[in-house]
Amino acid sequence: MDFWRLLGYARTSFYHHASPIDLPAKDSSKPINILDFCKQITPVCRLNPFLFNGHLQTFWTAVKSYDIPIYYKRHIFSAEEPAFPGTFAVDFVVKAYEGADKSLPPRTAYYEDAEFENIGSMDNKPMLFALHGLSGGSHEIYLRHVLRPLVDGGGWEACVVNSRGCAKSKITTGVLYNARATWDIRQVVKWLRKTYPNRPLFGIGFSLGANILVNYLGEEGDQCELKAAVVCSNPWNLDVSSIALQSTWLGLEVYSKTMGTSMRGLLEEHVDEISKNSRVDVERVRKIKYLFEFDRELQGPTWGYPTEGAYYRDASSCDSLLAVRVPLLAINAEDDPIAVKRAIPFMEFLQNPFAVLCTTSLGGHLSWFETGGERWFAKPASQFLMKMAQDVDLDKLSESVSRGDGVASSTPALFNPMRRKLQVPSG
């Protein structure tokens, strides 16, 4: 095994229900179960042999890599959820153009009002919406690695939902996002369904965005408008991941400190608005060093959590996985120093026939660098989405989900995986 590791080969493992759901084929051939489907679209994982552990893989993300040009047009949405008013930015993938807005991330400009009013279409192109990681945005290179094969000749349309305050967007109510902030996603999905009534909708989430996406899928259950989804480097159990980060020098002084610094910078970008929130002591937040301190001093008071641990436990997606009722592929590296292995809900994957977990023995956090700079995870992620749209009869699949196929009727209704401790006021 060590010999193969020296060559960059990673062990690939799959975790799944004993009777995974069948995916009906468009060509009327025999259905394929989701496990075999995932195995077919997952290539051998051979990474850069010089990046032979999770730390090296993750550190390499800080090295400037080659560019992947994706162009966006941005629209600012006003939130419809009365409990969480404000605005958020959605970036839509468009054809290359001249004249990007220098106040926005590279290759991004605002839609003109008249242009956006005519954005709707009756075509049936597959449509992807993406959720980025902590303090990231549509500009992130890991996100563009997946978008590129879909939108460049793949016939897909795509958009990225930027979390409030991220990607140079403005907040208007003194509130950032959190790890269970699914309300803006829900609004975007409803808007996409109305604006593109014939397009099958798919989702992908990265790191914290993966956690949010699984929470959304669980909340929607069998009423979910998405046809399938992928999540990459999901931290799953935020409390466990946070404790793991604090238990080692690298975890605390490199990863947690770097993320804390990033979030403190986000505070400074929006300090005028955040200062209006009477629950937040801005000077205390400015003194934090680590991510868990930021969550203690800003996220907890903002959302009403007494401690960062209470917030982590309530916002984790490991239980939400049990309520997911659309095909889901999850990709995690077992040596991920941020979304640690011990936080992965292996047993929960064995209980949900709609979900398959693919782990690799190498890969780091949102890394999986191959020799040459490509990222391995983009291949199974994009292939899963493309093959779902091309080969699977999505209408039959939706009918099967509506009938409750694949879910044992004898399961006692005693455990509700979506019961949250933080009560969101209704409109």
Q: Has residue 2 got a pLDDT over 70?
A: no
pLDDT band at 243 (very low <50, low <70, confident <90, very high): very high
Q: Which residues does 239 contact at the CB level (< 8 Å), separation at least 6? A: 309, 312, 313, 316
d(CA 144, CA 198): 25
Structural domains counted in the chain: 1
Give tens-digit pLDDT for 300-309: 999 999 999 9
Report d(CA 69, CA 362) in Å as an integer: 28
Give residue-wise pLDDT tens across range 102-142. 999 999 999 999 999 999 999 999 999 999 999 999 999 99
| Rounded Cα–Cα distance for residues 380 and 369 (Å) | 14
Q: Which residue has the tokens 């803006």?
A: 184
Count of other CB atoms within 10 angstroms of residue 333: 29
Q: Check residue 423 and give its pLDDT.
A: 81
All residues at 6 or more sequence positions from 247 whose CB lies less than 8 Å from its CB, including other chains: none
Least confident of 153-167, 173-187, 380-394, 411-425: 411-425
Q: What is the pLDDT of residue 3?
A: 60
Cβ proximity of 42 and 13 under 8 Å:
no
Distance of alpha carbon 386 from alpha carbon 155, whole angstroms: 9
Catalytic center residues: 207, 336, 365
| Residue 386 near residue 150, CB atoms below 8 Å | yes
Is residue 167, in this structure, part of any structural domain at all?
yes
Q: Is residue 260 part of a domain?
A: no
> CA-CA distance, 201 to 319, in Å (whole number)?
24
- Phi and psi angles of residue 301, each rounded to the nearest 5 degrees, phi first: -60, -40
pLDDT score for 8 = 86
pLDDT tens-place string over residues 324-375: 999 999 999 999 999 999 999 999 999 999 999 999 999 999 999 999 899 9
Tell me the pLDDT band of 287, cut-offs 50, 70 and 90: very high
pTM over 0.85: yes
CATH code: domain of residue 126:
3.40.50.1820
pLDDT at 4 over 70: no
pLDDT the model gives residue 410: 43
pLDDT tens digit sequence for 14-33: 999 999 999 999 987 899 99
Residue 147: domain span: 68-237+316-356
Measured distance CA(89)–CA(78) in Å, rounded? 9
Q: Which of 397, 386, 353 is nearest to 41 (CA)?
A: 386
In the chain, count H helices and then E strands: 18, 12
Question: How do residues 409-420 score in pLDDT, each as one tens digit?
Answer: 445 557 889 888
For residue 335, tell me if it sits in a domain: yes
Of 169 and 83, the structure prediction assigns the larger pLDDT to 169
Mean pLDDT in residue range 47-59: 96
Using the predicted structure, report yes or no on whether residue 88 has a pLDDT greater than 50.
Answer: yes
pLDDT-above-70 percentage for the chain? 96
Structure token pair of residue 326: 């659309």
